[in-house]
Amino acid sequence: MNAAIRAVVRAALFNGIEVFGIQRGYQGLLNQDIRPMDLRSVGDIIQRGGTILQSARCQEFRTEEGQRKGADILRAQGIDGLIVIGGDGSYQGANKLSKLGIKTMGLPGTIDNDISYTDYTIGFDTAVSIVVDAVNKLRDTMSSHERSSVVEVMGRHCGDIALYAGVASGAESILVPEVPFDIDEVAQRMKHNFEAGKRHSIVIVAEGVGRGEDVAQGIIERCPTVEPRVTVLGHIQRGGTPTAFDRILASRLGDFAVRKLMEGDSGKGCGMIRGELVATDIDKVVNTKKEFNMELYELATRLSQ
């Protein structure tokens, strides 16, 4: 998100536009925690994870009264364009403000990659890289001790982190909420691998499927000799130095959002599809489910044999 903030601020200043940063999202808006930003405000942040503007949930902004209050505060501050970085909730808020007359643009900032009308969200590539690095380290241990590992990753409703990390790390099984799985088949595959001389096996589980501990227990009940160990990566996936891909994506999207506002556009979600920048009505974005990449899932299945 910092790379996106940096791009928005610098692109706006380049075009002679005054920029303000709102601390802690919609909660900060209602608290009027708003401060001017300049070039020095975003210096030395492109390589930092997280967000210098911080983040917070805001129940009040879910109400019509809270949304009207937010729009009134923006007008009183002389702010006529708002760029929001986040996931579905952030987009919903931007959509409401747009309907109240505030020009808004949404940037897809969520590691789950669950925003439609963009191939990738800001932070997704970094999260996948962190998972792959963790699996690489686990493989060293599993191979040395001739054991298997179940790795639980984030993805409550979207299994993209598990899918992409699984393909990149050569996982034997990838369990995602979009595709039903058979625990008997998973266990038998692990057993077959060991019988064929393989000394370790990796199963990646998206949290939306269930707990890694439960998956491991199901495997043990069917193949007691496998005895997989469980690793829950948790919030470690949300931190770390952003990848070059994420920095470039965020920079392109941030600059694009500023240019779209300057053109008078509003109520749009910015994204990148097949390398091209696109702006889609937020109404359409928040009411469309991201299509799961079955082609990549089937590739993972073929390569895991």
pLDDT at residue 225 greater than cutoff 80 = no
**Does residue 305 sit within a domain?**
no
pLDDT reading at 198 higher than 80: no
Check residue 189 and give its pLDDT: 85
Assess if residue 298 is contained within a domain. no
Residues in the chain: 305
Same domain, 162 and 114: no
Q: Which helix (H) or strand (E) holds 138?
A: helix 124-145
| Alpha-carbon distance values, 292 to 17, 111, 178, 180, 289 (Å) | 39, 15, 7, 13, 9
Q: Annotated binding site for substrate, which residues?
A: 110-112, 147, 154-156, 207, 229, 235-238
Residues 234 and 247 in one domain: no
Assess if residue 81 is contained within a domain. yes
Which amino acids are annotated as binding site for ATP, given as ranges? 57-58, 87-90
Tell me: do 45 and 110 sit in the same domain.
Answer: yes
Overall domain count for the chain: 2
For residue 132, CA distances in Å to 126, 165, 195, 233 come to: 10, 6, 26, 11
CATH number for the domain spanning 103: value is: 3.40.50.450
CATH of the domain at 196: 3.40.50.460
Task: Tell me, yes or no, whether 92 and 150 share the same domain.
Answer: no
User: Chain-wide mean pLDDT for the chain?
Assistant: 93
pLDDT at residue 163, rounded to an integer: 98
pLDDT at 269 over 80: yes
Please, which pLDDT band fits residue 36 given cuts at 50, 70 and 90? Answer: very high
- Known binding residues: 6-10, 57-58, 87-90, 110-112, 139, 147, 154-156, 170-172, 198-200, 207, 229, 235-238
pLDDT in tens, 130-180: 999 999 999 888 877 777 899 999 999 999 999 999 999 999 999 999 999
What's the average model confidence in pLDDT over 68-76? 97
Residues 165 and 232 in one domain: yes
Q: Which residues are annotated as a binding site for ADP?
A: 6-10, 139, 170-172, 198-200
Q: Which domain holds residue 76?
A: 1-123+242-287
Which is higher by pLDDT, 226 or 8? 8
Give yes or no: residues 182 and 45 share one domain.
no
Same domain, 275 and 140: no
112 assigned to active site? yes
Tell me the pLDDT band of 23, cut-offs 50, 70 and 90.
very high
Q: Based on the domain organization, do 115 and 185 belong to the same domain?
A: no
Cα distance between residue 41 and residue 121, in whole Å: 24
Q: Is 152 within a domain?
A: yes
252 falls within a domain = yes
Please tell me the predicted confidence (pLDDT) of residue 66: 96
Best CA proximity match to 299, nearest among 187, 192, 166, 114:
166
Are both 117 and 208 inside the same structural domain?
no
Q: Which residues are annotated as a binding site for Mg(2+)?
A: 88
Q: Are residues 247 and 231 in the same domain?
A: no
pLDDT in the model for residue 97: 96
Per-residue CA distances from 178 to 72, 174, 267 (Å):
41, 11, 29
The verdict on residue 53 lying in a domain is: yes
| CA 62, chain centre distance (Å) | 22
Q: How far apart are CA 274 and CA 278, in angstroms?
A: 10
Q: What is residue 141's predicted lDDT score, i.e. its pLDDT? A: 82
Task: Identify the pLDDT of residue 267.
Answer: 95
My answer on whether 186 and 250 are in the same domain is: no
In this predicted structure, the answer to whether residue 196 has a pLDDT above a threshold of 90 is: no
pTM: 0.94
- What proportion of the chain, given as a percentage, has pLDDT over 70? 99
Lowest mean pLDDT among 66-75, 88-97, 128-137, 195-204: 195-204
Q: What is the mean pLDDT of residues 36-40?
A: 96
Q: Which pLDDT band, with edges at 50, 70 and 90, does 195 fall under?
A: confident
**Lowest mean pLDDT segment, chosen from 95-109, 138-152, 205-219, 220-234:** 138-152
Percent share of the chain, pLDDT over 90: 84
Active-site position among 112, 114, 125, 255: 112
User: How confident is the model over 44-68, as a mean pLDDT?
Assistant: 94
Kindly state whether residue 171 falls inside one of the protein's structural domains. yes
